[in-house]
A and B are shown apart, each in its own frame.
Chain A
Amino acid sequence: MRFKLTSDIKVLKEKANQMRRNILIMCNKAQSGHPGGSLSAIDIIVGLYYSVMMHNPSNPKWVDRDRFVLSKGHCCPALYAVLADCGYFPLKWLYKFRKIDSKLQGHPSMVDTPGIEMSTGSLGQGLSAAAGMALGYKIDNNSGIIYCMIGDGECNEGQIWEAAMSAAHYKLDNLIVILDKNRLQIDGFTKDVMDSSSLAAKFKAFNWNISEIDGHNCKEIISILNKVIKNPNGKPSMIIANTVKGKGISFMENKPEWHGKAPNDEELEVALKELQ
């Protein structure tokens, strides 16, 4: 059965809150993982799976489905939490995240996990693969949409720009990319590590449609996604989502050190209280 979507903002906000809790619990149990970027991405992923994408958790390979590729693969706790809640796999799998013999690998593995559309983790590759899927859908006249999330740090990778060039060249207007612009990467602020300012102008120059939203505003997220889907114009679309790394947890927000660090038990307790 197709997943039942909702446009009720209150429901979406509650889901996002619940997913934030799961992300933190997963990273705490694994004592590793990437909470910062997962928390900046989660509102968008919730918007996609609960409000926008045509998908079917009981038949993950349904041929006419919309697809989502998480190119910034290290933020998979956010995706795993959502996939489990949608019913792609049992919730208890979340607690074995990153552990030996787990179905939930440290970075997404499409061979191991139902609902994962592409194995990612080596940055830059997911966008190319998503473009390849969009091309495949075009060949088959499949009206499904391919969504992909990339990071602003990820835009350091040359492959992002190779993919951007080719997606515009092949007029992939069934490809919608969300850039989780949380302004941080492992070594610090993106402006200090490798200046990736004016990403909007750069993608525009590559002949993409550009829009910009607050990546934590559920209403803005679903309204822009619905608007973009309805207006295919022969160009791929880039939605630049301004986000906050570590969003929702006071001591994680805008702190590069929470890129790839798990909360200990005390930190988890404080964080979960903040989410109540």
Chain B
Amino acid sequence: MKATRDAYGETLAGLKNPNIVVVDADLSVSTRTSKFAKKHPKRFFDFGIAEANMISQAAGLATTGKIVFASTFACFASARALDQVRVSVCYSKLNVKICATHAGLTIGEDGASHQALSDIGIMRSMPYMKVFVPADPNETEQIIRWIAKDDGPTYVRLGRNKIADLHDKFGKSYKTKFCYARAQKIIDGKHATIIACGYMVEKALEAAMKLVEDKIHVTVLNMSTLKPLDEKAILRCPKPIVTVEEGMLNSGLGNAVAAVLCEKAGKKDTRMIRLGVDNQFGQSGKPEELLKHYHLQTENIVRAVKRLV
């Protein structure tokens, strides 16, 4: 068990390319970039509690050929420094990888000011930006290695809490295998599909297993690339669809899936239920208590599927 931020920090510290430079804004211990800083002190720069400056500096560094990883909490990367992400990074089309941690409700006790719930939608709306949400530590490592070789603006959404690798929790055949811009079909079932990202993939798998007891067989898609979105997977998967995410309903995964369905599914069944946070702020609490409060537990997914099939 480890957090996706841990997998990020370990993978980053192990990357061999000498052009990699890492910047942080006084959160390197929490974002785990401190591991890279210890190993490569000359290629790590702390900008203090000044996220806007950090992001524009990252853009400037990228113009000199550096592969820049920029980390802070997701709430600051996606909101406080958004204009810098928009102009300095995206409009300038620069090679900056924003790896933001402590995303979603499950940051827990810190509460609403620190719970990034709109980051997926915000980052998806930036031209040139690629958006990833790894489901477990194993997939985090694969995504970090992949983006290190890619060029252009990138956002990776990472979590604070320790979670299991899916293959450790469910068995070998559930191992996350990252493929850029492709949804991973982890379970194949014909009655419906659950599309999830991040930690919610684990909940989706649990729900799928419970549903089998009632002879309902669902497909589970791990949508770890949020942009560009795997539209084919959405159109081809068994309908109806339930989406699950640790974020706002009005801008995240669920909305993205709904848009594809409405525009492109033709006469197919377009019924769906989106699970997520409905136009409200989070609050303090233990991560699992919060998921219960905001109806993001396994039982909620099971109920949503049953309502549709």
Tally of A-B residue pairs with Cβ under 8 A?
106
Would A128 and B91 be within 8 Å (CB), given that A166-B47, A170-B45 are in contact? no
Contacts of A229 in B (CB 8 A): none
Select B87's contact among A119, A135, A142, beta carbons within 8 Å: A119
**Residue from A121, A126, A129 with most neighbouring chain B CB atoms (10 Å):** A129
Report the bound CA distance from A136 to B60 in whole Å.
8
- Which of B51-59, B117-125, B139-147, B173-181 lies on the face that meets chain A? B51-59
Select A128's contact among B45, B66, B88, B92, beta carbons within 8 Å: B88
Mask of A187-214 contacts with B, CB within 8 angstroms, 1/0:
0000000000000000000000000000
List CB contacts (< 8 Å) of B31-79 with chain A: 42-43, 45, 47-48, 50, 52-53, 55-66
Assess the B53–A135 pair: CB atoms within 8 A.
Answer: no
Assess the B50–A165 pair: CB atoms within 8 A.
Answer: yes
Assess the B57–A129 pair: CB atoms within 8 A.
Answer: yes
Report the bound CA distance from A168 to B57 in whole Å.
14
5 tightest Cβ-Cβ pairs between the two chains A and B:
A132-B60, A136-B64, A128-B56, A162-B53, A132-B57
Looking at the assembled complex, report how far the CB atom of B244 sits from the nearest CB atom of chain A, in whole angstroms.
Answer: 36
Nearest residue, chain A, Cβ from B83: A122
Report the bound CA distance from A109 to B65 in whole Å.
18
Given contacts A122-B87, A136-B21, 5 further A-B contacts (CB under 8 A): A119-B87, A125-B56, A129-B59, A159-B53, A165-B48
Contacts of A136 in B (CB 8 A): 21, 60-61, 63-66
Contacts of A132 in B (CB 8 A): 56-64
Looking at the assembled complex, report how far the CB atom of A158 sits from the nearest CB atom of chain B, in whole angstroms.
Answer: 8
Nearest residue, chain A, Cβ from B49: A162
- B residues whose Cβ falls under 8 Å from a Cβ of A: 21, 42-43, 45, 47-48, 50, 52-53, 55-66, 83-84, 86-88, 91-93
The answer to whether the Cβ of A48 comes within 8 Å of any Cβ in the partner chain is: no
Looking at the assembled complex, report how far the CB atom of B46 sits from the nearest CB atom of chain A, in whole angstroms.
Answer: 9
Report the bound CA distance from A128 to B96 in whole Å.
15
Select B59's contact among A118, A121, A142, A165, beta carbons within 8 Å: A118
Report the bound CA distance from A208 to B120 in whole Å.
39
Report the bound CA distance from A142 to B61 in whole Å.
13
Q: List 14 A-B contacts (CB under 8 A).
A: A110-B63, A122-B87, A125-B83, A125-B87, A131-B57, A132-B63, A133-B60, A133-B63, A134-B60, A136-B61, A159-B84, A162-B47, A162-B50, A166-B47
Report the bound CA distance from A230 to B83 in whole Å.
36
- A residues whose Cβ falls under 8 Å from a Cβ of B: 63, 109-111, 117-122, 124-126, 128-137, 139-140, 142, 158-159, 162-163, 165-166, 169-170
Assess the A125–B84 pair: CB atoms within 8 A.
Answer: yes
Assess the B47–A135 pair: CB atoms within 8 A.
Answer: no
Report the bound CA distance from A113 to B50 in whole Å.
30
Assess the B92–A118 pair: CB atoms within 8 A.
Answer: yes
Select B45's contact among A110, A125, A135, beta carbons within 8 Å: A135
Looking at the assembled complex, report how far the CB atom of A154 sits from the nearest CB atom of chain B, in whole angstroms.
Answer: 13
Would A139 and B43 be within 8 Å (CB), given that A118-B88, A128-B88, A133-B63 are in contact? yes
Assess the B50–A118 pair: CB atoms within 8 A.
Answer: no
Nearest residue, chain A, Cβ from B64: A136
Contacts of A117 in B (CB 8 A): 63
Report the bound CA distance from A183 to B191 in whole Å.
69
Looking at the assembled complex, report how far the CB atom of B79 sits from the nearest CB atom of chain A, in whole angstroms.
Answer: 15
Would A129 and B43 be within 8 Å (CB), given that A118-B92, A119-B91 are in contact? no
